Structure 1
Amino acid sequence: MVTLGIEAFLDADRGRVSPTVGLVTNPSGVTADLESTIDLLNGSDAVDLEALFGPTHGIRGNEHSQDEITEHIDEKTGLPVYDLTSQGTGRNGGPNGTTVEQIANLDRLIYDIQEVGTRFSTFARVLGRVLAEAAKADTPVTVLDRPNPIAPFGSAGTLAGQPGGAALPIVHGMTVGELGRYFANEMALDADLSIVEMERWSRDRWFDDLELTWVPPSPNMPSLDTALVYPGTCLFEATTLSEGRGTTNPFELIGAPWVDATAFAAMLNDIDPPGVKFRPAYFTPMFSKHERSDVEGVQVHVLDRETFDPIRVGVTMVLTAFYEYAECGWVRTNGGYPIDELTGGSELRTATADVRNGANLRMTIDHVVEGWEREAAQFLEENAEYLLYD
């Protein structure tokens, strides 16, 4: 059985000094026995836990992503909870509302959040910000490592920058500890970073091979099935179709009120990307896009992980939706098109215009996917110095 970073940390002999620490975590910070990292550190003689830092959805997972998590006292522990997600910077330039002083007053920051293996995840961005602000505060950071749940996919998809310029492919293939090492170097941070490594984990293992229980790191990541499709279906966040937020199957359900579920599923199944089947689906999002509207679309069912390619499936679904439905469009903001930020370029947006103007759908899918594959093909090999596991 895999030994997680939190378990190795608690087992280690760290001497008699109990440093004051802050903990960046959420509900996914648990041991294999589902004991909370918050509770374990709060009750440990090895550290003096003085503060908690809440990423998206908060330390207890009960905040909506669009809510500002204001500074407050955690009722269970009596510890102050600081915000890592509100818009803008804190009064002293901390990561989105957390001040450098809050970090500088600590001997160490500890980070324990389950990553989902995809660049789009907010937790990868949180880790980068934490490392940057801890470096400014001259506060060491310890990352308690956890499995990459979709590691067998390797790396795939377009390369795009993270805060500070550390580029990642859509599917990055790294554990959270490896990401920390990569960010610290690529962002040129003078960070005092240590990783508590896992034991008996390897890159060829899916999360459900590990005898571990999936604890959702986000309300929109309820299962490993979600994590498998998320690298591709997250692209729909930048479209006028629902990506399933507000349902029990976010990122597995894709649709809109103007979609014909049976026809859309038939088109996708006719294209037949490997390892997947599309089922006609009917749903009503309780919030987010098309809130409380009757929606038709598809549910993505992964039948064979070994042949399933989430990037190809996502590109196939997006291009097919734009090809078939004139109502399908891109979300626009004052800054332009969010899809260009998600993918690191305008290739997919341009390709949707091409298929609407008569370009061959299947050939366009292949062109986009093959171009993105070339971008990510050597990512893990070129960054082997940051990897901790085979």
Structure 2
Amino acid sequence: MSGRSCSCRGKKAAHRGAVPTAVGLAICLVLVGCGGPSRNAHPQAAAGVKVKPGVEVFLEKHLDLVKGKRVGIITNPTGTDSLLRTTIDLFLGNPAVKLVALYGPEHGVRGDAQAGQYVPFYIDRKYGLPEYNLPVFSLYGQSMKPEAGMLKNIDEFMRSFDTQETGKVPEAAMVEGIDVMMFDIQDVGTRVYTYVATMAYAMQAAAENGIEFIVLDRPNPVNGADMEGPILEYPEFSSFLGLFPIPERHGMTMGELAGMFNDKFLARKARLTVIPMEGWRREMWFDQTGLPWVIPSPNMPTLDTATVYPGLVAIEGTNLSEGRGTTKPFELFGAPWIDGYELAKTLNGLGLPGVRFREAWFTPSFSKFQGLLCGGCQVHVIDRAAFQPFATALHVIKTVRDAYPEKFEFHPDYFDKVMGTASVRLALEAGTDIGTILDSIKPGLEAFAALRKAYLLY
């Protein structure tokens, strides 16, 4: 990546820029006892682990990047090493890292906030070792507290809020007093996941405020080879759901995306360093890495969820339940007016690769159709190598729409933002064959595959 405002430690070395000076002391006023005993300066990977995440590589080989600098980190519960020790604790227990602030994406640093839920500024206190009090800045609506009435229909609020930029770009005051912003969050491998936009906005803020930006890379859990879905039409369909022209399933890691964003899309380039993993290969699924699965967000409980998500997330943009409020979000879908038996029979009759549909009934505890019995299906992936989540989702939507033309509805703006284009919805509404829709997407995927080659680290 020579020639770009980016360096990748380990796998690909490159020149790093000059060290910036601190831009303020605002956050030091709320810091108490950020030290703690030195421990785990060089954490060892758990037995049997094949992949070493970026945080472990950083602590073993690249502490020089933060020597004498004040560090802020964007993280959540997925920021752990292979022994499930949090990146926050590892940093605080290492005398070479001066951690002074935390930044939370959607769902918060602790992962306890539901989709669309506002998280205010607060002080995070921990009384076990290492003990600390750290300021936590929200990167999901920090300047926009929703009124009580807005939360009566959280699904409608989420659809509205996630298509806006408001309250998601870090403000200058939030980064005063830090020299380095770090990012350590597990992604799920699709454009339609707000952590991707959070990283991009944070890179933008770092560039504007003279702060270095370091990404601690993690696996793409649904492999780094497969790509699906339309390329986002930029800037018309750019939103917090998807900022830049990449496909719905992009087959890249967050570190690779950071390099691409910095080089191709950001108006002002960040002084970016990516710490690659060790041992990861593009064809790997998460359960082949040896790393423990920590849920990336409340409605992404398992790798099975992440496997179907790059396609079934489209159901969010319809009046069908996508299974939120159940133990199988995105694997279940339905509505009170659907006959699950007939729907499963029709979908299985399509012979879609790698998947079977089972009739299912469920009552969401929150979200769409809260408290109402829904009929529908559960998606069972029987061969994930053959399974095509995006194509499967289009077939599901077309089948339900054909069976219930008086009941089924799109939420057009949100659906189009998920797709990154209006063309898919318009084609479905026109009754276009799914194969024709998929064929129309292929040229964009081929162009993206060529573009991304320059940014692949593995």
Equivalent of residue 58 in structure 1, options 108, 121, 137:
108
Counting only pairs closer than 5 Å after superposition, residues 1-390 of structure 1 correspond to structure 2 as 1-12=50-61, 14-15=63-64, 17-76=67-126, 77-86=132-141, 96=168, 98-160=170-232, 161=234, 162=238, 166-188=244-266, 189-326=268-405, 327-331=407-411, 337-355=413-431, 364-389=433-458
* Cα distance in 1 between the residues matched to 2:306 and 2:446: 21
- Kindly report the root-mean-square deviation, in angstroms, between the aligned alpha carbons of the 2 structures: 2.0
- Letter in structure 2 aligned against 1:64: Q
Q: Deviations over 1:11-34 (max 9, x none)?
A: 125349332100100011111111
- Residue 3 of structure 1 aligns to which amino acid in structure 2? K
* Deviation digits for residues 79-108 of structure 1 (CA, Å, limit 9, x no counterpart): 000010017689xx9962742132142010
Question: CA contact under 8 A between 1:107 and 1:139: conserved in structure 2?
Answer: yes
Unaligned segments of structure 1, at least 5 residues: none
Between Structure 1 and Structure 2, how many residues are aligned?
Answer: 376
Structure 2: distance between partners of 1:44 and 1:89: 35
CA distance in 1, matches of 2:296, 2:210: 28
1:347 Cα deviation after fit: 2.5
List alignment gaps of at least 5 residues for structure 2. 1-49, 127-131, 146-164
State whether residues 144 and 197 of structure 1, in contact with CA within 8 Å, keep that contact through their aligned partners in structure 2: yes
In structure 1, what is the Cα distance between the partners aligned to 2:414 and 2:170? Answer: 26
Moved more, 72-81 or 52-61: 72-81
2:438 partner amino acid: V
Distance 1:114 1:306, change over 3 A: same
1:165 and 1:352 map into 2 onto residues whose CA distance is: 24
Aligned-residue identity in percent: 39
* C-alpha distance in 2 between matches for 1:23 and 1:46: 15
SS of the residue 1:174 aligns to: coil
Which of 1 and 2 has higher RCO (CA within 8 Å, sep 6+)? 2
Deviation at 1:352, TM superposition (A): 3.0
Q: Which amino acid aligns with 1:81?
A: V
Q: Which amino acid aligns with 1:373?
A: K
Rounded to whole Å, the distance in 1 between the matches of 2:419 and 2:435 is 16
- Distance in 2 of aligned mates of 1:13 and 1:264: 54
CA contact (8 A) 1:26 1:60 kept: yes
- More displaced, 120-129 or 63-72? 63-72
Contact 2:141/2:166 (8 A) holds in 1: no
Answer with 22-31 or 10-19: which moved more: 10-19
Q: Cα distance 1:3–1:42, how it changes in 2: closer, same or farther (>3 A)?
A: same
Cα gap change, 1:131/1:181 in structure 2, threshold over 3 Å: closer, same or farther?
same
Compute the TM-score of the two structures, normalised by the length of structure 1: 0.92
Equivalent residue for 2:39? none
Give distance in 2, aligned partners of 1:247 and 1:98: 33
* Contact persistence 1:154–1:171 (CA under 8 A): yes
Helix, strand or coil: the match of 1:78?
strand
CA distance in 1, matches of 2:378, 2:305: 11
- 1:152: Cα distance to partner? 4.8
Contact 1:25/1:111 (8 A) holds in 2: yes
- SS for the counterpart of 1:198 is coil
Give the counterpart letter for 2:456 in structure 1: L
Contact 2:169 2:202 (8 Å CA) reproduced = no
